[in-house]
Structure 1
Amino acid sequence: MPDPTTKPPSPRPRRRRRLCGLCLGTALLALLVAALVHVVAPLPRAASASARFSVIIDGGSTGTRAHVFVTGHDGSPDLALSTVMRVSPGLSSFAADPARAGESLKPLIDFARDKIDGAGSAAGEAEVRLMATAGLRLLEERTQEAILASCRDVLRASGFRFEDAWAKVIPGTACPLPFSLSATWGK
């Protein structure tokens, strides 16, 4: 015979836990699918024959990003066709071993090449520029130059159009993307 003073366990906490787990699982699945689509998918639609590509590498303090921009016949970037990839750590983390900094750019170069070649264009026609920001600005000039030299070696060998002057530490007042867009397309 059940004890009349004891209440049966409420199903509410169990139901609430199940609902939270279902919501969390759905959110994680959506995040995973979005990440896979971003990494695996080519550019959203085919670029026109007159499209031009440009790669801007933003060397930040916590990570480095490759932005692949597409421009149309009028020279303005089509942000719907543009894509980005990030790697960690940032370039400034190679201060103790600057020669390794360039190696950290290789996954970004491969990503950009795949996106450009996948859109039916040739990577050799696209410019690549490196705009290093805050993290590198905080290092001694000699260390900055050693890191940039390592990066320049990799960028020269990348198959993209590149000039040594296109890899630099930008001033603190400049944002890498508007600055680089004007440098690339504001001719």
Structure 2
Amino acid sequence: MSYIYLSFLWSDEGIYAWVAANYALGTLGGDPQKTVGILELGGASAQVTFVSSELLPPEFAHSLKYGKYTYNLYSHSLLHLGQNVAHDSLRELLLSRDQTSAESSGDGVFLDPCTPTGYTHNMGFWNLSPGALNGKKNYLPTLHARGNFSECRTAALKMLQKGKEKCSYQHCHIGNTFIPKLQGKLLATENFFYTSKFFGLPSEAFLSDLMLAGQQFCGEEWSKLQKKYHTVNEEDLQRYCFSSAYIVALLHDSLGIALDDGRIGFANQVRDIPLDWALGAFVMQNMADLEKEHSDWISAILSSDSATRFSLFIILFIMICTVWSVMKWRKPQFKTIYDLEKGRYIVTHVTR
């Protein structure tokens, strides 16, 4: 067992995930235009990383060298736009959006199009903001579930576009965040993948397939969904209406991916290699160590006589081939731990 210590930034997660995906696909170390972009949808944040030919603002531009190629990446972490946090934020938006009409009716009831009809919300478990509580300590509003995919999608898009009027860049497809036009093939991972898998969609499914599945799910009665998906936790089950609508609002309505675009695939692994940022961190760490070893060997070679120099070149060549072969074919497992004392992540690696 070995440990890799990383000084981790949110922006690094997308870059390491991109490295992991292209390493697993065999495109890392090759033509930048043949690499695959990565779209991650976690619980708290979303990541967008891909090779871009556009001139990028410095805060979004990342230059990554691997082998003989340098990859000019756009990478950004969209904080608070992960699936779970976005779901909570949307509920608060729904509560505040119709507050005036709800108060005038005197019943404090708000409509929730992102949850199948018949589901009962337990508002007591929510960590609502003072605004959602209408400024009253004992005030507890009611969300009435009325599943409607189109309305949920519209509400999700409104949330994604919040703050767009403050955009100071040429492209702000999500809020006031600069995102250039997506280029090349794309892999949608984590909750993108889990949602498509829940609906039984293949990895090469179109967004239109997910939209159709979401429309059917959102429009179904909660009691029927419980019977159909009786093995799924109820709290998780009710989220799939929102999840499907949110994904379409994020990928199609915001980032401009066509509903029938064949460039995008939903996956969480390639063959049996997980598309995890920890794998990308491991690959880059190994590459850095390898380059250091090469540098030390070259220094030794240059200071040797010709006969010794030739022998060292042969040994170096064999070592490079061996290390490259091992890195390409071994299948590492990872466990990621955050070291509170050191304030950084520790990636635990076990080679099988």
TM-score (norm 2): 0.24
TM-score (norm 1): 0.40
